[in-house]
Amino acid sequence: MNHRESRFEPRPNLSRGLATLALGFVCCFIQRAQAIPLSIDPPDTRSYSHDDVPVQSPAPSSVQAAPPSASQILAPLASEATAATMPLSRYKIPSELAILREVGLEPGAQVDSAVEQGMNWVNQSLSAASRADFSQKCEQHFSNPNQSMQLTAGALACVPWAIEKLNVNSANRRESRSTSRPSGGGRLRSESDWRNHLRGVGFLDAFWRIDPQTNAELVAEANIAARIGQDCQYRGALAAFIARAEAFFPEQSAISAIEKVYPLAFTCLEPDDDGFERTHLRTGLFRLMQGETQKARQSFLLAAHAENPEEEFRSLFWLGVIDEGSSNRTATNVPNEYWELLRRRYPLTIHSVVSSHSLGVDPLSSAVSSKEANIARRLGNTWSEFNLAAFFLELLIARKEASNLTSFVKFTARNVDAPNPDALLFLSKCYNTAQAHKISIGTLTRYFKETQSQGLTLETMNMFFPRAYTDQILNSTGMVDPVIVLSLIRQESAFDPFARSGADARGLMQLLPSTASKWLANSRQELFDPSQNVRVGVKYMETLFKRYDGNVEHVLAAYNAGLKNLDRWRQRFPNANTLMFMDLIPFKETRTYVAIILRNAYWYGRLMALQRDSLADTIVRKSTQAKWRSVTVQNLLRLAWSQDPQNPDSRTALSQLYSLPATNQ
């Protein structure tokens, strides 16, 4: 028995319902539940050239001077301002007068001037000499360890400066692993190439060096991998070869190549390897397409055992689908443990929604916590960076200074890391009030992870699925479902009309000027106009709906990855059901994109049905009447609103979303 077999022992039980190995994996998942946070949004791999604010890891300040000690810069807060925790539903932004009186100030010209000076620091509109002078004055304001809890107007001006000073030591830049093609070197074809260049190489580097172009090359490289792959130093190359081979699916050469190399990857890949989850998950999907149900189950179990899984919800979903079709589970009425785990850990995903409805459980009542979410306006009785930021945010919101507020929200997201979930929720609420939806959503995502779904309430979900630019959407959608457009905008730009990607996609719906030029004369500038952007975006979507016979999943995939890519995938997987096709999309960004927009549409539909205001009623009505809409989402919503969730017609429509091909085992 090799080391891999001993780690995943016993192998023979993989094909028996929830037998020893399967139960072992489930136990492993449950034990990891506290260590791995709830995932609400699968990772978005796109980058934007506009101010893409890292909300989860504040960036270091540009201030070079050493920060003063805590005793030098921290001053007590008034006790009445430290009403630390309160229910989110009870929180209202205080008036400017109330906020200022907490620190001993009164509205007036001095406060106006102080806020302006503070924002000059935030906006970096001071000269180098002026910044140096300003820093020196601020050092004096915050240098007294016995400083009163009151603020002078001069100290008020220095609040942004103090936040940066406090952040110097605690800041922590996000690290992103590059997935770009490495420079130098060409494609490797021969066995000597593999031996000389791929031993010890990781998955991503190997992926760019292995690229068979023909069936003959695929077969030849599969033979090379089979000959030398028993040396586990080639495991990155094995995973990369399997990833490349799927481009030939469903040709028999691809199936044979994957099955030839996969046993070696099975033996060699470690759970913390980059290619571990992808290799087992993708192989599981291909096996499922071929009717190899129990082999697929084995692969999904391994995929879910990855060290830091990013697509665990997919593995759990298909494990649950396989178990739903198990005669043993049906006969003994054993609960579907995979779907139950999926619902607990990933409650908002479209996969969880489908599995919940399949189990006869309402996803909304299942996801929403019975406990009320709490927020913290202040933490403790010191001027920490969080307390300073919270105070200044409230002040700018109360003063209704939209431009300054937008700048300070970005400044806060860069420099302030909330130390607990209640503080995170407070920041997200402020960002939401400021209509900084991208930052608010990112902060809420972290909040949901840290609260392990206990923070999911109707109020936080309405913050997570904001309604913005609805007038422009309703005026432009025509035959297209406005909820789909709203859901797409949330994913594309998070409602930032000035969003601009590295590929030069612009505005709310992230349209390329070349695409928009068919409808706009000055597309480069006009795409930043919300009305024009939505109008043209909907026109473009209409062309896609006509091309793809109204199939929303295909339209969304084409919108993200391009028509040529989608056409290839449609040829490759012509008979895949809705969820299988979505999960088989080769580009992780695109399969994530499609899944998130379907998820958005479902939850927007659920939440707006509960709002009962005229705007929500109008959107829901136009959605149900639209020619171009998601049949998948509409069926799920009808099932949610039905008085009889066990209705046979609804159940049949639901099962067709993930029905399995005939088994070959």
State the catalytic residues. 492
Q: How far apart are the C-alpha atoms of 312 and 303, rounded to whole Å?
A: 7
Given a contact cutoff of 8 angstroms between Cβ atoms, the answer to whether 262 and 634 are in contact is: no
Supply the Cα-derived Rg of the chain in whole angstroms. Answer: 27
Phi-psi region of 111 (alpha: psi -120 to 50; beta: other; left: phi over 0): alpha
Burial call 66-89: b when 16+ CB within 10 Å, e when fewer: ebbeeeebbbebeeebbeeeeebe
Please, is 180 exposed, middle or buried when counting C-beta atoms within 10 Å of its C-beta (0-12, 13-18, 19+)? exposed
Residues with Cβ within 8 Å of 613's Cβ and at least 6 positions away in sequence, in order, are none
Q: How far apart are the C-alpha atoms of 583 and 577, rounded to whole Å?
A: 10
Q: How far apart are the C-alpha atoms of 352 and 367, rounded to whole Å?
A: 10
Q: Which residue type, as a one-letter code, is found at position 564? A: K
Token code pair at residue 469: 């630019």
Q: How far apart are the C-alpha atoms of 462 and 460, rounded to whole Å?
A: 5
Bridge partners of 374, per DSSP, are 87
Given a contact cutoff of 8 angstroms between Cβ atoms, the answer to whether 637 and 602 are in contact is: yes
- Residue closest to 503 by CA, chosen among 492, 487, 494: 492
Q: How far apart are the C-alpha atoms of 287 and 317, rounded to whole Å?
A: 15
| Secondary structure (3-state) at 298 | helix
Q: How far apart are the C-alpha atoms of 274 and 309, rounded to whole Å?
A: 10
Displacement of CA 599 from its chain's centroid (Å): 11
Residues with Cβ within 8 Å of 418's Cβ and at least 6 positions away in sequence, in order, are 386, 424, 426, 427, 443
Q: How far apart are the C-alpha atoms of 645 and 579, rounded to whole Å?
A: 21
